Amino acid sequence: MPKIAEQARAARREQIIAAGLACFARCGYHATTMADVAAQAGVSKGTPYLYFAGKEALFLALHEEWDCGAGQRVDVAIAMLPDADRRSPRRVLHAAAAAIAAHVTAQPETCRVLMEARAMAAHEPTIAAAVRATDTRAHRQLTELITAGVRAGEWPAGTDPALAARLFTAALYGLMAQWHLAPGSFSWEAAAALACGPAPDTDSDAARRPGASGLPAVPAT
């Protein structure tokens, strides 16, 4: 396929995804039809089907774009940390939380639409599988990071990394919901720090674990 044709096809696909987002945001997933999407995009009724098998596939493409965009933003935020901070699991987690917060505030409509996906997951098997895959991957990465942080003395001794990872994720999703109900009602920067969970009691915990981390002490962020 010629390069110009590929670019035109990619542009039209993005146009249809943007139209789907507008329709989902306005009417909700279940009330939206592919005809609505075509009208929003200003194309014939059959055109969206050249790119997506149906509404579900379109919604999943939107979900994938959000997920990839969020992942890229997190990667950039971590890469921009000073070397010492990149060796600190707690500071890495804080940077990830702040990056997700920035993604939410930069794309609030997409975030609001995709919050619906979590509610639909119990009734739409394909969407449920996508949500589950995203959650499983994130939970594994967070658990590994917090496990390293506990070993480094950046979380209290005895912290359950898997549970802490779930609490972190639950806090972020809860904050997203609150943000959409009352935009600007809290500081995402402060919320990102709190979502990381409690820091150890440096006076007592560090004394019990001398030299345990091999890393410099990192204050709560």
Tally of domains in the chain:
2
Same domain? 73 vs 165:
yes
- pLDDT value at 209 more than 70: no
Q: How far is CA 176 from the centre of its chain?
A: 10
pLDDT attached to residue 190:
87
Same domain? 47 vs 76:
no
**What is the DSSP code (8-state) at residue 49?**
G
Residue 7's pLDDT band (boundaries 50, 70, 90)?
Answer: confident
In a domain, 217, yes or no: no
Q: How far is CA 57 from the centre of its chain?
A: 20
In a domain, 69, yes or no: yes
Same domain? 31 vs 121:
no
Same domain? 2 vs 93:
no
| Domain span at 115 | 60-197
Q: How far is CA 215 from the centre of its chain?
A: 28
Give the CATH number for residue 116.
Answer: 1.10.357.10
pLDDT attached to residue 2:
66
Question: Is the CB of residue 85 less than 8 Å from the CB of residue 94?
Answer: no
Percent of the chain with pLDDT over 70: 89
**Bigger pLDDT: 202 or 71?**
71
Residue 4's pLDDT band (boundaries 50, 70, 90)?
Answer: low
